């Protein structure tokens, strides 16, 4: 199966079972394992008629390619998880809240960004198909289930996508050390998409040119930069904080 993708670990597998069980092609569980989390997965897998196998620990190690799988490994049909940006935007019930990752190639960073995006209620994470990590087993593991709940949309032309977002009335807000204002002194737009670049190179030139605003993340210590997932956590949290306050007024 060309679209088959590996997932492993309790969070990733359990989230997939509850969010999109029909996408699971087969599931492997370590034989003899009988703790509460394993029983929950087995019961849900049986209820959803998921193809189930029991295997020895060394067999699971081989399937998971040495990753820490916690005794649960599965394969999914990734084609059944595809989401279009238009579907997300046209079904929103509140102002758009998006995260765009430009040039994030580390799967650990992508997984952490997805986890934070889920926690802050981001509607979708968008990334270019080229020079991006892409969803894989490591991303699913780090995301702790968020890779199964937050739409992750890859696009062939990011600049064109940014123009399309503007047509929906969505502000494109980039993070940059030379931003016009800092995060804590910016009244954020009601409907926005945050753009995060890689820690080393930042956003690409064309991406920067499509931003309506550039906002800096304040630094009060001695370090000059932060991991992209940490920066994403800060800007997404501040966005959610401002939305909560405005809703209470």
Binding-site residues for S-adenosyl-L-methionine: 197, 226
Residue with tokens 């309506």: 212
Structure tokens at 14: 């359990």
- The angle subtended at Cα 123 by Cα 78 and Cα 26, nearest 5°, is 20
The binding site consists of 197, 226
Q: Of 37, 49, 47, nearest to 13 (Cα)?
A: 37
Q: Is the dihedral of CA 77, 79, 80, 83 positive or negative?
A: positive
Tokens of 62: 């081989």
Rounded CA-CA distance 202/204 in Å is 7
Distance in angstroms (rounded) separating the CA atoms of residues 74 and 137: 10
């Amino acid at each position: 199966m060309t679209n088959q993708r590996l997932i492993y670990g309790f969070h990733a597998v359990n989230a997939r079972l509850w969010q999109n069980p029909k996408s699971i092609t087969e599931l492997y569980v370590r034989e003899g394992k009988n703790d509460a989390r394993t029983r929950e997965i087995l019961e849900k897998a049986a209820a959803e008629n998921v193809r189930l196998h029991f295997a020895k620990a060394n067999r699971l190690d081989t399937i998971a390619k040495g990753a820490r799988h916690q005794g649960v490994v599965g394969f999914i049909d990734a084609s059944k998880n595809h989401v279009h940006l238009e579907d997300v935007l046209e079904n929103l019930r509140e102002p758009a809240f998006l995260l765009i990752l430009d040039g994030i190639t580390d799967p650990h960073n992508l997984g952490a960004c997805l986890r934070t995006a889920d926690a802050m209620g981001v509607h979708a994470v968008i990334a270019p198909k080229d020079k991006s990590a892409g969803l894989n087993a490591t991303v699913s593991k780090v995301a702790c289930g968020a890779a199964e709940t937050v739409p992750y949309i890859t696009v062939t032309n990011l600049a064109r996508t940014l123009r399309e977002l503007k047509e929906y009335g969505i502000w494109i807000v980039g993070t940059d050390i030379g931003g016009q204002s800092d995060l804590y002194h910016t009244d954020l737009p009601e409907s926005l998409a945050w753009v995060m670049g890689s820690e080393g190179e930042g956003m690409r030139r064309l991406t920067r040119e499509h931003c309506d605003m550039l906002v800096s993340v304040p630094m009060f210590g001695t370090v000059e930069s932060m991991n992209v997932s940490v920066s994403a956590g800060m800007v997404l949290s501040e966005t959610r904080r401002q939305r909560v306050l405005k809703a209470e007024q």
